[in-house]
Amino acid sequence: MLLQLPIPKKFDEQRLISYINPIKDVDGLNEINIGKLVKNEPAMRSCTPAGIINLLKSQNITIEGKKIVVIGRSLLVGKPLSLMLLNLNGTVTMTHSKTLNLSKVCREADILIAAAGKPNLVDSSFVKEGAVIIDVGIHRLKSSDKDQTRLCGDVLLEDVIPKVFAYTPVPGGVGPMTVTMLLVNTISSWQKQFGLSSTLNDLLP
């Protein structure tokens, strides 16, 4: 079960999420699952952050000991992702729209994760040489031809690519990993409900 977000403002989003059985909470947003994440206990994990962790692991990019800056503090991405990275011994700084000298803070990052919801926010002035860039954003902007639109992320990729060690494209980077982790959570939920041992524990950070 999942609640498709965002929902109309007249509804209490977190109250509705709290009604979902934690074992069936494939978005990992129920307060019980969030609490278990804080305590670093096994539970459903939020899909986009879990996908990012698995993406980094698949490319043998070390998290432990690295300086990691997360732009964005949403319940969907920024907060759970920062906790997952902390649980894996990353040195995490969470930033947001009120952070002073944001570009300076970001330039210290070995791994920079942009989940700000602002198109093309991150340019080369935010990035140190050899950094890893994860772009969570996806936006549809009008192109020079008014009848056409194009997709972009929170990162101005053409500007940062010459400086970085690795980056995720938009589209085709984080998005498919989010869908993959939703399927992982669904299978894990089914296994738990039938008392089966999970075969997917290594994919749930």
Residue type, 4: Q
Domains by residue range for the chain, with CATH:
13-44 (no CATH), 46-173 (3.40.50.720)
pLDDT digits (tens, 9 = 90+) for 69-113: 999 999 999 999 999 999 999 999 999 999 999 999 999 999 999
The residue ranges of DSSP E strands in the chain, in sequence order, are: 67-71, 91-95, 111-114, 132-135, 139-142, 149-152, 166-167
Task: Determine what percent of the chain is predicted with pLDDT higher than 90.
Answer: 86
Bridge partners of 140, per DSSP, are 151
Stretch 137-165: mean pLDDT, rounded? 88
Q: Is 2 helix (H, G, I), strand (E, B) or coil?
A: coil
On whether the CB atoms of residues 150 and 143 are closer than 8 A, the answer is: yes
On whether the CB atoms of residues 154 and 116 are closer than 8 A, the answer is: yes
pLDDT band at residue 133 under the 50/70/90 scheme: very high
pLDDT digits (tens, 9 = 90+) for 12-59: 999 999 999 999 999 999 999 999 999 999 999 999 999 999 999 999
User: Please, what is the average pLDDT of the chain?
Assistant: 94
Q: Would you mind telling me the total number of residues written for the chain in this entry? A: 205
Tell me what pLDDT residue 195 has: 87
pLDDT digits (tens, 9 = 90+) for 87-98: 999 999 999 999
Tell me what pLDDT residue 145 has: 67
Q: In the predicted model, is pLDDT for residue 144 greater than 90? A: no
Tell me what pLDDT residue 183 has: 95
Q: Is the dihedral of CA 46, 51, 54, 60 positive or negative?
A: negative
Q: In the predicted model, is pLDDT for residue 143 greater than 90? A: no
Tell me what pLDDT residue 150 has: 84
Tell me what pLDDT residue 205 has: 86
